[in-house]
Chains A and B, each alone.
Chain A
Amino acid sequence: MRSLPLLFLGVFFTIASSWVGIVLVSNIQLGGLEPATPELTDAEGNPIAGVFFEDPETGEMRLGLNQDGVEAWPVPLVGAAQRGKRVYEQMGCLYCHSQQVRRQGFGSDYERGWGERQSVARDYIHQERVMLGTMRTGPDLSNVGLRYSELWQHQHLFNPKITSRDSLMPRYAFLYEVRPISETRGPSPNAIEIPEDYHPGPGELEVIPTQRARDLVAYLMNLRQDYDLPEMRREQ
Chain B
Amino acid sequence: MSFPSTLTEAMSPTAEPKSDLLAKLSEVDRSMKVLGVFFTVCGLLWLMAGTLFALVASIKMHNVDFLGDSEFWTWGRVRSAHLNAMIYGWAFNVSFAVAPWIMARLCRTRVRFTNIFLFGGIFWNIGVVIGVYGILAGHKVGVEWLEFPAYVTPILALAFAFIGVWVILLFRWRQTGHVYVSQWYFLAAFFWLPWLYAMAQIMIVHEPARGVVQSLTNWWFAHNVLGLWLTPIAVGAAYYLIPKVLGRPIYSYYLSVIGFWALALFYNWAGVHHLIGGPVPAWVISAGTVASVMMVIPVIVVAINHHMTVVGLHREGWASPTIRFVVFGAINYTAVSLLGSAMALRSVNEITHFTHFTVSHSHHGVYSFFTMIMFGGIYYMLPRLLNREWPSAMLISLHWWTTAVGVTLMVIVLAIGGFIQGLQLNAIDPETETAAFEFLEVMRATIPYMVMRSLTGVLITIGHVAFFINIIWMLSRRAADGSESKPTLLTPGA
Contact = CB atoms under 8 A, between A and B. Distances in A.
B60 interface: yes
Contacts of B434: 111-112
B443 A137 contact: yes
B265 A14 contact: yes
Contacts of A5: none
A171 B64 contact: yes
Interface in A1-34: 1-2, 4, 7-8, 10-12, 14-15, 17-19, 21-23, 26-27, 29-33
A103 B285 CA distance: 15
B268 A107 contact: no
Nearest to B144: A134
B426 A26 contact: no
A170 B213 CA distance: 31
B42 to A, nearest CB: 26
Interface stretch (B276-284, B327-335, B382-390): B276-284
B475 interface: no
A136 interface: yes
Interface string A155-196: 000001000111111111110000000000000000000000
A93 interface: yes
Name, among A2, A112, A171, the residue most crowded by chain B CB atoms within 10 Å (CB to CB).
Answer: A112
Contact of A1 (B138, B257, B358): B257
B215 A130 contact: yes
B36 to A, nearest CB: 26
B216 A100 contact: no
A22 B284 contact: yes
A111 B435 contact: yes
A26 B279 contact: no
A91 interface: yes
Name, among A93, A106, A137, the residue most crowded by chain B CB atoms within 10 Å (CB to CB).
Answer: A137
A12 B264 CA distance: 10
Interface string B221-252: 00010001000000000000000000000000
Contacts of A102: 277-278
B77 interface: yes
A39 to B, nearest CB: 20
B323 interface: no
Contacts of A141: none
A124 B215 CA distance: 10
A103 B215 CA distance: 18
B142 A94 contact: yes
Contacts of B62: 168
Nearest to B351: A107
A91 B76 contact: yes
A74 to B, nearest CB: 10
A72 interface: no
A128 interface: yes
Interface stretch (B46-54, B66-74, B98-106, B480-488): B66-74
Interface stretch (A44-52, A58-66, A114-122): A114-122
B287 interface: yes
A95 interface: yes
A152 interface: no
Interface stretch (B89-97, B204-212, B302-310, B456-464): B204-212
A23 B213 contact: yes
A121 B74 contact: no
A223 interface: no
A92 interface: yes
Interface residues of A, number: 75
Given A95-B80, A98-B354, A168-B64, A121 B279 contact: yes
Nearest to A86: B142
B440 A166 contact: yes
B264 A10 contact: yes
A132 B215 contact: yes
Nearest to B180: A1
Nearest to B60: A170
Contacts of A119: 278-279
Contacts of A11: 187-188, 191-192, 264
B140 A108 contact: no
Interface string B32-67: 000000000000000000000000000011101000
Contacts of B271: 22
A15 B279 contact: no
A95 B79 contact: yes
B210 A136 contact: no
B210 A1 contact: no
Contact of B64 (A19, A129, A135, A169): A169
B220 interface: yes
A204 B60 CA distance: 31
Interface string A79-95: 00000000011111111
Contact of B279 (A89, A118, A167, A174): A118
Contact of A166 (B187, B220, B272, B444): B444
Contacts of A211: none
Contacts of B353: 107, 134
Contacts of A123: 211, 279
Given A108-B426, A170-B68, 18 more contacts: A7-B188, A11-B191, A12-B191, A18-B224, A30-B210, A30-B212, A90-B140, A90-B142, A95-B79, A100-B279, A106-B346, A106-B350, A108-B427, A111-B434, A111-B435, A129-B142, A129-B143, A174-B69
Interface of B: 60-62, 64, 68-71, 74-77, 79-80, 138-144, 178-179, 181, 184, 187-188, 191-192, 195-196, 199, 203, 208-217, 220, 224, 228, 257, 261, 264-265, 268-269, 271-272, 274-275, 277-281, 284, 287-288, 346, 350, 353-355, 358-359, 425-428, 433-435, 439-440, 443-444, 446-447
22 contacts: A7-B184, A7-B187, A12-B191, A15-B268, A21-B287, A26-B280, A90-B77, A91-B76, A96-B75, A96-B76, A102-B277, A107-B350, A108-B435, A111-B433, A112-B439, A118-B279, A121-B281, A124-B212, A137-B61, A160-B64, A167-B440, A174-B71
Interface of A: 1-2, 4, 7-8, 10-12, 14-15, 17-19, 21-23, 26-27, 29-33, 88-96, 98, 100, 102-103, 106-108, 111-112, 118-139, 160, 164-174
